[in-house]
Structure 1
Amino acid sequence: MPTDGSELASAAATTAVQLAKSQGAQVVGVYVIDPFPYIGIGDAAAAGLQAYLAEAKAAAGQALDALAAVCKADGVPFAGDTIERNVVYEGIIETAQAEGCDLIVMASHGRQGVKALILGSVAQKVLTYAKMPVLIVKG
């Protein structure tokens, strides 16, 4: 289950946890951090990178902690991972494959809002490129 900490991801988490509980399965959460968007020279670039990563990792921790809490409340095993990828949907799919997931459950769109007519751009690309089933939870 990819999460970005948005309200829609939280709603999708409830669905994912209920489904996992009914099947005696584990939830694997993933938060994908976009790499630092600016490549510069000197100390300012290094400080900017450190600040960006610290903030991104804090947001990832909060989002994964929230997903873990939903799992814990229903007695569902949970594993969480934060990864860095240039392309978010690829990170989601790679994590699902590496973890041996049977299903990707995700929100229809995340904190960046609707970027496509029906689905967010990340959800649409996961649906398009994933080799495993994908369940989209509409918010």
Structure 2
Amino acid sequence: MYRKILITTDGSAVSNKTACAGVDFAEQMGAEVLALFVAPEYQYPIYVEIIPPSYPSEEEYRAAMQRAGQGHLQAIVEAAERRGLRCAGATAFAESVALKIVEVAAERHCDLIFMGSHGRSGWGQLLLGSVTNKVLSHSKIPVLVHRLIKEPQGHENAT
């Protein structure tokens, strides 16, 4: 039914559990996986007139976020490969995480977006997380929203 599934992660324990469920779902479908981490765009400090020497340059920031993204995506890619699934990981930069998820899904010809009901903002929200809500309202392809029954303990790797 689905040939290529985009699985999102923000690196949180909740997101890792959701990614694990996404890989399981992809295995059931025999689908290829695209794991995606979206980092915020670089922000210049607007509260000072001179950028402090300790403030990272845009290049340093992007390199650090690429490394962080690789770390967040590695477990998903490895879990998919252990199950014999084709998988790629990608880190993208955007002001709007939700719009970037939708954009990448379209550009990479995904036919499903698999994501959690909540990410870093966690369990404090009663309704869907804001990123998930925006993806649902902007996506032209199906979005499967995974909701965990209980909050994960600690920050262990779920996949």
Matched, 1:28 2:34: yes
How many residues are aligned here? 139
> What SS does the corresponding residue of 2:9 show, helix, strand or coil?
coil
Deviates more, 1:116-125 or 1:51-60: 51-60
Corresponding residue for residue 97 of structure 1: 106
Show structure 2 runs of 5+ residues with no match.
1-6, 149-159
| Cα offset, 1:116, TM superposition | 4.6
Corresponding residue for residue 38 of structure 1: 44
Corresponding residue for residue 82 of structure 1: 91
> What SS does the corresponding residue of 1:47 show, helix, strand or coil?
coil
Separation in structure 1 between the aligned mates of residue 141 and residue 9 of structure 2, nearest angstrom: 18
| Counterpart residue type for residue 13 of structure 2 | E
Change (3 A) 1:8 1:65: same
Corresponding residue for residue 135 of structure 1: 144
Q: Please say which structure displays the higher CA radius of gyration.
A: 2
Separation in structure 1 between the aligned mates of residue 103 and residue 53 of structure 2, nearest angstrom: 33
| Cα offset, 1:115, TM superposition | 7.0
Identify the structure with the greater helix proportion.
1
| Cα offset, 1:100, TM superposition | 0.7
Identify the structure with the greater strand proportion.
2
Matched-pair identity in % = 35
Change (3 A) 1:47 1:15: closer
| TM-score normalised to structure 1 length | 0.87
Deviates more, 1:86-95 or 1:67-76: 67-76
> What SS does the corresponding residue of 1:118 show, helix, strand or coil?
coil
Show structure 1 runs of 5+ residues with no match.
none
| Cα offset, 1:10, TM superposition | 1.5
| Counterpart residue type for residue 132 of structure 1 | I
| TM-score normalised to structure 2 length | 0.77
